[in-house]
Structure 1
């Protein structure tokens, strides 16, 4: 295999954790969700981190954890929506492994996310959320492999495995 790690990027509710867990299981690799690991280490939910320590603090934690995880081999890493949209993080991930963008439309994002209370960015209005998504997509689009929302998680895993084997 050309890569020792896979980074999944995409907007909120794009399926990064679902696809990541399936991929890791099929490859026999470890799966790490950056958001879940930050919550575990901080002992606070993401909304609590945003409220008590600020979004900037959270973003720094994410980036530090990404750099730590990227030193491991045989790992599938699900990034938070903001981390994958950070140009510095994107460059770093591309140097360290395969970056996969799980693309979703705005409508599909709303259908999947609904009113999830654990997503502080959902408190923003529709216009602001659409703008955020468009801005983030400029960086997500730098990923080596794009997977469309119409793909099932199993199809997404198959496409990623083909790319890992050098077939895609």
Structure 2
């Protein structure tokens, strides 16, 4: 199968972008990159620290710069941070430079996956479950706007999601 230049995974925190992305890259013989991890490597600090010092706006600027650089590369699967689609310029550059796959996972499943994770700054609030629901309502249309493919997740294993993505990519590459 001919692969797109860059395969980009978007979705909510806990949707499986990193886990699915690693397996997808391995199966397709591509490199795997995680934009949040790359930001941490470049800054030398964890994302919660960036949020603490620079706020969400400062983090989002760094995120846009990193996404811009990473999407100029080819032969990779790129997992983005959950909020990467907030900025219109990010949605535009992601959808124009790669095939964007939205891992759509229901909020109740996201809650089960993230409720013990203290490394997610936007979920460190009194009602993280409610916050996840709010984020989902706000971001779902943005993920859909950027996506070329929507994969329904949350019910199967990461392996099953990779198989669904491979099938969708095959269909895209045939057209």
Q: TM-score, normalised by structure 1?
A: 0.92
Work out the number of aligned pairs and report it. Answer: 168
SS at match of 1:147: strand
Indicate whether 1:43 and 2:47 are aligned.
no
Aligned to 2:32: 31
Give, in angstroms, the shift of residue 5 of structure 1.
Answer: 0.8
Aligned to 1:146: 150
Q: Which moved more, 1:36-45 or 1:142-151?
A: 142-151
Aligned to 1:157: 162
Aligned to 1:18: 19
Kindly indicate whether the alpha-carbon contact (under 8 Å) linking 2:20 and 2:158 is maintained by their aligned counterparts in 1. Answer: yes
Q: RMSD in angstroms over aligned alpha carbons? A: 1.6
Give, in angstroms, the shift of residue 82 of structure 1.
Answer: 0.4
Task: Supply the distance in 1 between the matched residues of 2:167 and 2:86 (Cα, whole angstroms).
Answer: 25
Give, in angstroms, the shift of residue 167 of structure 1.
Answer: 5.5
Aligned to 1:118: 119
Task: Supply the distance in 1 between the matched residues of 2:172 and 2:135 (Cα, whole angstroms).
Answer: 33
> For structure 2, which runs of at least 5 residues remain unmatched after alignment?
none
Q: TM-score, normalised by structure 2?
A: 0.89
Indicate whether 1:67 and 2:71 are aligned.
no
Aligned to 1:131: 134
Give, in angstroms, the shift of residue 131 of structure 1.
Answer: 1.6
Give, in angstroms, the shift of residue 152 of structure 1.
Answer: 2.2
1:128–1:157 Cα change, 3 Å: closer
1:157–1:129 Cα change, 3 Å: closer
SS at match of 1:100: strand
